[in-house]
Amino acid sequence: MSLNQPIANFSNLNVWIVGASSGIGEACAKWFANAGANLVLSARRESALDQLAISIRTEHPNSQVRTIAFDVNHQDQASGAVNELFQEWSRLDILLFVSGIYTPVRAHDFDLQVTEQMIQTNLMGPMRIVSYLMPYFLKQQSGHIALVGSVAGYSGLPKSLVYGPTKAALLNFAESLFYDVKPEGINVHIVSPGFVATPATAGNDFEMPALISAEQAAIEIGKGLQKGEFDIHFPKKFSYFLKFLRLLPYPLYFWILKTFVKI
């Protein structure tokens, strides 16, 4: 059973992608453009956004795509981006919040500056944008909010001392948000990818199981929105395994990590 309204057709829907300059966000921008959506692309790097917009317009000459560069960690920039968005559009159909950072952290290199930066970007960033958008969504009584988390938010994992908790909190936020806004006609999706080949994972010094491309991730996100799924997770063989681990007693859970996770 779909918890959200399925999206049968993306043609002419207004989609705002925050974190569109590379990786999953860039791949999703191209996927939505292929599906006929109108796009506003956002990230900090204006030059990368401009290049992506030019690429999309070249491939889809009739596409409506523009850019709004801003930093999700700056309150004034974030609120200004929302105001600029609604100067362009009278309504927003889909927010896809992809922006996030990943730094591997273990207890022996626990750095509070790195911690605060990840919390600001991965948790406060999406919360900030959703808070500014909520009056508009409530007024239009419709729309989709899709927040990209991670399977690292399912349970504690090696090298995820900070990143994992930010994604776990985002999952909890999405669950609470869904409960509050579903009666108002607003749809909420939490997207939990496994390992995806992006600039963020390029520096990992360990084997990444079930690694997929950013393009594959974009397809999975699109399919999840089409089906109206609340919990969009992939690749399934990896994400279901981590969901299963969460159900195990802690002695068995930690034994499996120690035995099979070579990090």
pTM of the model: 0.95
Could you read off the pLDDT of 155-179 as tens digits, one per residue?
999 999 999 999 999 999 999 999 9
Q: Is there a catalytic annotation at residue 136?
A: no
Beta strand ranges found along the chain (DSSP E) = 14-18, 38-43, 65-69, 94-97, 144-148, 187-193, 196-197, 212-213, 231-234
Domains of the chain: 14-260 (3.40.50.720)
pLDDT value at 205 more than 70: no
From 136, 163, 179, 253, the catalytic residue: 163
Mean residue pLDDT of the chain comes to 95
Q: Which two tokens stand for residue 49?
A: 């956004």
User: CA of 110: how far to CAs of 116, 163, 205, in Å?
Assistant: 11, 12, 18
Q: How far apart are CA 155 and CA 166, in angstroms?
A: 11
Residue type, 197: A
pLDDT value at 145 more than 90: yes
